[in-house]
Every structure is written in C-alpha cells, then in structure tokens.
C-alpha cells in the first residue's frame, strides 16, 4: 500500500510512526512534500480533505465529541457549534494555543470508544443524551433513528448512570425517526414542556373532507402544529396546496398552529406560551362540547 491507501484505511488521519511502519520513511516524506498528506500536529498527519474540526482534534491527539461527533457521523443537529468539541485523555497536556481553538473535554477512552476521528456512535449518543440541553439531544437522537441507529440509541441510554440519567432515558423514550429535521425536533421538545399537550410527528389525519399528514399532531386535543419553512413550499402550487390543507383541517374542527424557524429557535418561550394557551382553550372547548344542550 502507498501512503494514501494507509491514510484512507485509518480514516484520513494517522501518526507518522504508523505510516512509516506501513510504508517507509522516504514515502511518507514524499507524500508530505507533494501535499498528498498534510501535517496537523507533532507527528500527526491528515488527508487534505479532512475537515478543520477533525484536523484540530487529531493535532491534539484527541477526537471529536458531542455535537461535533454527531455531525461527523452524519447526524443533523439543532445548531452546528462555532468551535469544535474535542475529547482528549485526562492527563494529556494540550498547548494553550490549541485549547483556544476548541471546547475541551477530558476522558480516557478504550479502543471501541473511537470511530474515525470521533467518539463512537454509541458513546456520542451517550454523551449527547446526558450532557446536552434536552432539545439539542432530542434533535440528534431523532436524526440517529432516521439513520437506523435504534439499537445504538437504546444501548447508549442504558449506559448512562448518575448525572443525566433521567434526561437520557427521557430523550431515548421520546425520540422518533418520523421527525423530519431538527426544526421539527426542537418544536416537539418545546411541546414536551407544555402540560396536557401530547404530540406525535407525521400522524395521518383522514376524514371525508381532508387527508393530511401534519408535522405534529395531538389527536386528543385535535391540535396540529406545523413547522413552517419559506423554502419548503417550493412554488406557488405548493403554497396553494398547504393553504387549502390548513383550511380543510380547520373546517374539520382542528386547531392549526404554524410556527416559523425563527419562532422556534429564537423565541422558544413565546412558542411555549402560545402552546400552553392553546391547550387551555382546547380543553375548555372539549368540556363545553361534552355538556348536554339545554332544552
């Protein structure tokens, strides 16, 4: 194998010692000189297409973790971090100039805890479920399920003990593969904080007048919550279709709430207040509906 092949087998990152063992010192020096490998740190090399976050982690003899690891594994997140999260061994001495470039975490890892320059999928989920805010953890867990990681999520939640155990169990219980994206996941997380509101994603509503599959549905309260993206309608025909769908849902007795990305991500307290007020109003309406009509 040449140096490039060895680097590919190592996930695009390797040490000089490992490359020299697999090829030769002269071949490694030639690859470094012609730019087919790039020096990331003392005795640590990466392929040129390795992203900046992974390159920084490798330079520190660390791995990506938490949100940065989730992105590395291809999972969607609520918000990409401005500074990568990097995990290093507990006693690793990290130079000050590198510490300024990352959010530093410390933990000793075993061989099975690392995968291609990041914490393994299982450890990534374990840390995200335990350490991140609920809405961020739910967005990542939903995305992991969309990628088929059902067993991984269950194992990760079972591994959490002590700090964060209750939240990890809650996130694993509430995670849904049907949630289409972090926008919907974060909206659902806000809904989970509203007493009396029990929504599920992508529930089909069908009667003689309307067929719809809204983003979030509470069947008991007959409440629909839609996560509105300007780009999603695509064109005038898509916009017209959605308007008609909302009209038919309302005519069939459903309460339809529509929230924008800015509402959910930047004004979550306002969204929560609107949802709470809606639950109270719908509960009163359902009670009134059940009362006998006076003769």
What pLDDT, in 10s, does the model give residues 79-109? 888 899 999 999 888 888 888 889 999 999 9
pLDDT at 53 over 90: no
* Residues 85/64, Cβ–Cβ less than 8 Å: yes
Question: Given pLDDT bands bounded at 50, 70 and 90, which one contains residue 294?
Answer: low
Predicted structure pTM score: 0.82
- Percent helix, percent strand, percent coil in the chain, to nearest 5: 50, 15, 35
pLDDT digits (tens, 9 = 90+) for 2-11: 888 887 776 6
Residue 141: CB partners within 8 Å, gap ≥ 6? 125, 128, 129, 153, 171, 172, 175
CA 279 – CA 259 distance, rounded (Å): 16
CA 7 – CA 38 distance, rounded (Å): 11
**Domain edges within the chain:** 3-47, 56-174, 182-290
* Residues 53/83, Cβ–Cβ less than 8 Å: no
Q: Residue holding tokens 């989970």? A: 192
* Residue percentage of the chain with pLDDT more than 70: 93
CA 5 – CA 3 distance, rounded (Å): 6
- 182-290 is classed CATH 3.40.960.10: yes
* Residues 180/202, Cβ–Cβ less than 8 Å: yes
For residue 118, list its beta bridge partners.
64, 115
3-state secondary structure at position 87: strand
CA 224 – CA 219 distance, rounded (Å): 8
Mean pLDDT, residues 207-219: 90
Inter-CA distances, 175 with 59, 144, 156, 188, 224, Å: 35, 9, 13, 10, 19
């Amino acid at each position: 194998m040449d140096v490039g092949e060895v680097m590919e087998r190592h996930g695009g990152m390797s040490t000089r010692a490992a490359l020299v063992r697999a090829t030769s010192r002269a071949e490694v020096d030639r690859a470094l000189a012609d730019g087919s490998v790039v020096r990331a740190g003392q005795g640590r090399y990466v392929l040129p297409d390795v992203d900046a976050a992974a390159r920084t982690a490798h330079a520190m003899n660390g791995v990506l973790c938490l949100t940065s690891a989730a992105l590395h594994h291809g999972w969607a997140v609520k918000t990409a971090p401005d500074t990568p999260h990097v995990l290093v061994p507990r006693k690793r001495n990290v130079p000050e100039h590198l510490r300024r470039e990352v959010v530093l975490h410390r933990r000793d890892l075993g061989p099975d805890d690392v995968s291609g320059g990041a914490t393994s999928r299982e450890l990534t989920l374990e840390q995200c479920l335990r350490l991140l805010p609920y809405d961020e953890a739910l967005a990542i867990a939903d995305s992991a399920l969309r990628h088929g990681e059902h067993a991984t999520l269950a194992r990760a939640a079972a591994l959490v003990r002590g700090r964060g155990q209750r939240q990890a169990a809650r996130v694993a219980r509430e995670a849904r593969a049907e949630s289409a994206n972090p926008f919907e996941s974060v909206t659902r997380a806000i809904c989970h904080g509203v007493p009396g509101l029990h929504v599920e994603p992508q529930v089909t509503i069908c009667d003689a007048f309307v067929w719809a599959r809204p983003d979030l549905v509470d069947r008991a309260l007959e409440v629909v919550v839609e996560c509105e993206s300007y780009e999603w309608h695509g064109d005038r025909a898509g916009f017209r279709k959605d308007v008609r769908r909302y009209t038919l849902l309302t005519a069939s007795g459903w309460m339809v709430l529509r929230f924008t990305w800015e509402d959910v991500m930047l004004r979550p307290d306002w969204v929560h207040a609107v949802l709470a007020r809606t639950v109270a109003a719908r509960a009163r309406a359902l009670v009134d509906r059940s009362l006998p009509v006076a003769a």
